[in-house]
Amino acid sequence: MRFRQIISLLIFSFTATLAQAEIPWAFQPLPEQPPIPEDNPQSDAKIELGKQLFFDPRLSLTGTHSCNSCHNLAAGGEDGLAQPVGVNGSKGRRSTLTLWNAAYHTVYNWDGSSKTLEKQVWQHILDKNVMAMPDSKTLLERLNDIDGYRLQFDSVFEGEGVTETTIAKAIASFERTLVTHNSPFDRFLNGDKQAISDYAQQGFEQFIEIRCASCHFWVNMAGPNPGLALQQGEGFYELFPNYPGTDYEKRYGLADDIGRYDFSRIKTDKRMWRVPSLRNVAITAPYFHNGAVKTLDEAVRVMAKTQLNRDLSGNEVTYLVEFLKTLTGEFPQIALPRLPATPKRTVMKE
Amino acid sequence: MRFRQIISLLIFSFTATLAQAEIPWAFQPLPEQPPIPEDNPQSDAKIELGKQLFFDPRLSLTGTHSCNSCHNLAAGGEDGLAQPVGVNGSKGRRSTLTLWNAAYHTVYNWDGSSKTLEKQVWQHILDKNVMAMPDSKTLLERLNDIDGYRLQFDSVFEGEGVTETTIAKAIASFERTLVTHNSPFDRFLNGDKQAISDYAQQGFEQFIEIRCASCHFWVNMAGPNPGLALQQGEGFYELFPNYPGTDYEKRYGLADDIGRYDFSRIKTDKRMWRVPSLRNVAITAPYFHNGAVKTLDEAVRVMAKTQLNRDLSGNEVTYLVEFLKTLTGEFPQIALPRLPATPKRTVMKE
């Protein structure tokens, strides 16, 4: 863990020096494409198949919840709720993270418990509070029974067909297309100084000065990933709350969840969390792993206090929020897929 | 009720006479557009607003269920389940009807309890087993708080803003675009004799001969609507089961629900049901008001026995099913809308 914090501090000192003169090097627009793993190259047919699976509620035990049920791509790529609601109304433990630009991360989930997009697919399909499939076999059988899927899998994954691996690969391929380019901040980084307001520019300067930027930097505003210090599977984690015992901590129960430790059982992982992206943060309330904070203003105050031991003035909050709003990108148009039918039988074995 | 059955019989006798020679007049391709009510003309902006509302889970109390959750437009316009699953996992009473081509009906729901598409919108928003809004005020306030909605309503419905009426009008306008033209059967009706197989043509002849067509005819394969005998708000209902006491009735609990009577409290409405459309029937399993029958083959056998007192041979079932498959139309591509954000606050008041 330590070495990642050192990386962060190094980058921060570097950027702080440059802040007055020019845009710090540690801020970069989103690259055109996220990293594509060598064993899962993109193809139009694979992306289309992945999109169908993503929107298909038959991936859940009850046939009621698709990936899109919680990761709503018509909105911020999440559900707008403090806790996700899975099959049979059961609530998930941690607030849904956005899938927009997720492909620029190097680990997944709040605790980094999946090292690839492919791996997190099955985590959620099998999670009893999410899609609640009892085992992978049940889903493989169900998809194999749907001609339209079986034929596509045979064509996209020649000689492999419908397997745990190919399902994950198809969905991950689609998820790698979920990129929001050209936010006002990206345009600003690309040289258009009018792209963000004066208030937002002041907010950006504060963002660096008060050291929000020590964690939220680089292409995804989420630390050194990808292609900068960290490789796929290596996470950038921070302690949260960093300054324990604040009023905010109590009010919002911020320390009630033990974080990455619960997954890794490594003592130093207690209350460590993967740094989330700030891209599109203005449209992904509520905030934090427990979704306890409802507004961006309050989230900014909470972070300044719990992470940086700083009480912000009203103006500082305003400027920072104005800056954060410039991180909302342009959303690609997504055509609703046509899901293959299950002719002559019901989906669910009831 | 009687006069509608008489209409049906008249049309049937007419078509039966012609069946050998030419395509009966009582079968017609879907008109280009469904009827548009005078007080709710279509416009691009209104349809777009309606689409956003249709896909927005914030229309449900818990922020988890959009119209599309049950009326899945990526599939058959319904949920593929025997009973719909609403907020908090509660189950609806009757199987979800498809929304594709619903605009060609003259009444809505299995029991005809809504006379317009506009009216059914609020039925489902307020149904505690569906979207579970406690009252319209809660939703009006919620939508008014979302700048992106308030501005659109002000622009589309000048001087009216967000009201019960304008919400219903916008959603109904979008629903009137959900039309599947150009099914193989429509192409056949338009003169392309190769559009459906020989088996399907035999099935079509049987469909008329054994009198399936006495209820399932006209543009929506659902009786004399619209523009033929019935006006908007008048329903075409049939008794189901028509021949009581069959094994099928017991096995599938077909008589357990009292049908339209439960809504109208008129004695002659007992076990009367609005005749459902057969368009896209091959992709909307399971079947009947209780979704108890899982396959189209079995649905055909059940209908022949309970409605026409007829035991079908295996071949007859095959041909009829081949015919019914030709009723699957072409689905328009739908671009997923962008839902207006609720910046700086959470959707749900938790």
The dihedrals phi and psi of A214, each to the nearest 5 degrees, come to -70, -20
Rounded Cα distance between B236 and B106, Å, is: 8
Contact B33, B175 (CB under 8 A): no
Question: Token pair 């439960």 is at which residue?
Answer: B262
Q: How far is B73 from chain A (nearest CA, A)?
A: 8
What number is the ipTM of this complex? 0.93
Rounded Cα distance between A240 and A307, Å, is: 7
Which comes out higher in pLDDT, residue A347 or A170?
Answer: A170
Between chains, do A286 and B346 touch, taking CB under 8 Å as contact? Answer: yes
Count residue pairs from A and B with Cβ separation < 8 A.
138
Structure tokens at B139: 């939703």
Of B291, B294, B338, the CB nearest to A331: B338
Angle, CA B87 vertex, CA B85 and CA B91 arms, to 5°: 35
Contact B78, B284 (CB under 8 A): yes
Contact A29, A191 (CB under 8 A): no
**Residue B41: exposed, middle, or buried by beta-carbon count in 10 A (0-12, 13-18, 19+)?**
exposed
Calculate what percentage of chain B has a pLDDT beyond 90: 86
The dihedrals phi and psi of B105, each to the nearest 5 degrees, come to -85, 165
- The stretch A24-44 carries a mean pLDDT of 94
CA distances from B56 to A144, A281, B51, B59, B342 (A): 31, 19, 9, 6, 12
Structure tokens at B143: 């939508």
Instruction: Quickly state the pLDDT bin for A1 (edges 50, 70, 90).
Output: very low
Give the other-Cβ count within 10 Å of A257's Cβ: 18
Calculate what percentage of chain B has a pLDDT beyond 70: 91
pLDDT at A267 over 50: yes
Calculate what percentage of chain A has a pLDDT beyond 90: 86
Rounded Cα distance between B194 and B192, Å, is: 5
Rounded Cα distance between A170 and A337, Å, is: 14
- Cα dihedral B195, B198, B199, B200, rounded to 10, equals 30
Tens digit of each residue's pLDDT, chain B (350 residues): 445 555 555 555 555 544 444 677 789 999 999 999 999 999 999 999 999 999 999 999 999 999 999 999 999 999 999 999 999 889 999 999 999 999 999 999 999 999 999 999 999 999 999 999 999 999 999 999 999 999 999 999 999 999 999 999 999 999 999 999 999 999 999 999 999 999 999 999 999 999 999 999 999 999 887 667 788 899 999 999 999 999 999 999 999 999 999 999 999 999 999 999 999 999 999 999 999 999 999 999 999 999 999 999 999 999 999 999 999 999 999 999 999 998 555 556 55
CA distances from A124 to A66, A176, A260 (A): 10, 17, 17
Between chains, do B81 and A75 touch, taking CB under 8 Å as contact? Answer: no
CB < 8 Å to B350, chain A: 82
Of B82, B333, B348, the CB nearest to A81: B348
Q: What is the pLDDT of residues A65-106, one digit of tens each?
A: 999 999 999 999 999 999 999 998 899 999 999 999 999 999
- The stretch A247-268 carries a mean pLDDT of 97
Burial A176-207 (b: 16+ CB within 10 A, else e): bebbbeebbbbbbbeeeeebbeebbbbbbebb
pLDDT of residue A20: 43
Q: What is the pLDDT of residues A196-250, one digit of tens each?
A: 999 999 999 999 999 999 999 999 999 887 667 788 899 999 999 999 999 999 9
pLDDT of residue A18: 44
φ/ψ region of B229 (left if φ > 0, alpha if ψ in -120 to 50, else beta) reads: left
Between chains, do A343 and B282 touch, taking CB under 8 Å as contact? Answer: yes
Q: What is the pLDDT of residues B72-98, one digit of tens each?
A: 999 999 999 999 999 988 999 999 999
pLDDT of residue A261: 96
Between chains, do B294 and A335 touch, taking CB under 8 Å as contact? Answer: no
| pTM, 2 dp | 0.94
Q: How far is B314 from chain A (nearest CA, A)?
A: 15
φ/ψ region of A323 (left if φ > 0, alpha if ψ in -120 to 50, else beta) reads: alpha
Q: Suggest the residue from A56, A70, A85, A322 to mutate for an interface test with chain B (most B CBs closer than 10 A).
A: A85
Secondary structure of chain A in the HEC alphabet? CHHHHHHHHHHHHHHHHHCCCCCCCCCCCCCCCCCCCCCCCCCHHHHHHHHHHHCCHHHCCCCCCCHHHHCECCCCCECCCCCCECHHHCECCCCCCCCCCHHHCCCECCCCCECCHHHHHHHHHHCCCCCCCCCHHHHHHHHHCCHHHHHHHHHHCCCCCCCHHHHHHHHHHHHCCCCCCCCHHHHHHCCCCCCCCHHHHHHHHHHHHCCHHHCCCCCCCCCCCCCCCCCCCCCCEEECCCCCCCHHHHHHCCCCCCECHHHHCCHHHCCEEECCCCCCHHHCCCECCCCCECCHHHHHHHHHHHHHCCCCCHHHHHHHHHHHHCCCCCCCCCECCCCCCCCCCCCCCC
Strand, helix or coil for residue B151 = helix
Report the sign of the C-alpha dihedral through residues A111, A114, A116, A119, in that order: negative
Between chains, do A346 and B285 touch, taking CB under 8 Å as contact? Answer: yes
Q: Suggest the residue from B52, B64, B71, B321 to mutate for an interface test with chain A (most A CBs closer than 10 A).
A: B64
Q: What is the pLDDT of residues A314-349, one digit of tens each?
A: 999 999 999 999 999 999 999 999 999 985 555 565
Structure tokens at B332: 């328009």
pLDDT of residue B249: 98
Q: How far is B76 from chain A (nearest CA, A)?
A: 8
Structure tokens at A137: 């076999």
pLDDT of residue B1: 43
**Residue B349: exposed, middle, or buried by beta-carbon count in 10 A (0-12, 13-18, 19+)?**
exposed
pLDDT at A19 over 80: no
pLDDT of residue A232: 87
- The stretch A293-318 carries a mean pLDDT of 97
- Candidates B127, B152, B148, B145; CA nearest to B65 is B127
Pairing of strands A272-274, B272-274: unpaired
Between chains, do B282 and A341 touch, taking CB under 8 Å as contact? Answer: yes
The dihedrals phi and psi of B272, each to the nearest 5 degrees, come to -90, 140
CA distances from A261 to A111, A127, A274 (A): 8, 19, 12
- Cα dihedral B84, B89, B91, B97, rounded to 10, equals -10
Between chains, do A72 and B285 touch, taking CB under 8 Å as contact? Answer: no
pLDDT of residue A203: 97
Strand, helix or coil for residue B324 = helix
Q: Closest-CA residue in chain B for A146?
A: B283
pLDDT of residue A9: 53
Structure tokens at B154: 């002000």
Rounded Cα distance between A120 and B7, Å, is: 58
CB < 8 Å to B61, chain A: none
pLDDT of residue B51: 98
